[in-house]
A and B are shown apart, each in its own frame.
Chain A
């Protein structure tokens, strides 16, 4: 792979852009999905609207969103915002459902116990219910993270940066080593971040070891 050796700087800078474009939507998606997931777990009407809406948005291909969003947001076709918004939409579609399911599965006994100790509703949510939702929430986060990293490369088709740029450049001059380098870099990036999320999820939910073994089976 002498191509990769000769282009370390380019690969690293595109990896940085790629990482940024994949992670920002995860953080935004998390911030948006926690309140909406709570709504969906609490109110049947909210669930009946949010979950199907997420399903419909998830159905729309990324290339389509990248073309349509500039019209809705008033941005340029080349603007990174379009990709960030598109991936945030997919992240929310995945996370709202898993957060709602996770919150709904917190046992009534746990909530009654928390009330008995003196938690108020908001304190109970952040100290008891949300932490208990972490394992399921992180399962959703992992799927979102890995597919985001793969989807950022679609942005190259409308001129947005990231490792996808190596794919389109490698296609234009039929430079197969460049294409292979980009694919390997994207997969490795995804696996590293996936592993990182596993570690973070376990650190945040040390009690859940046994429960996790049951849930992922």
Chain B
């Protein structure tokens, strides 16, 4: 499984990569929304799922999701939002922007992997 993970915190990127690597998943990393779009563009074929933080410089998570949802090439791609914020408001915004699901940081590795398997249907 190939996943694109976007977070401005190096620590979180490392943790996600470690978690995914243990499952044999491939992780591509980016550190903000703009970078995420670049990396996404380079991924061929497209990733099976995208994991993104919300609070990031340059282009934040919501902005990133909106852009991706506008791109027919990535139609239907599952996007999970990963963030510490538990505010309901923000979850609604994320959903409106087009997110598929929501995972709260700090994440339980098993849950993250489970969620990815669920939304992609892959093992």
Say whether A and B bind each other.
no
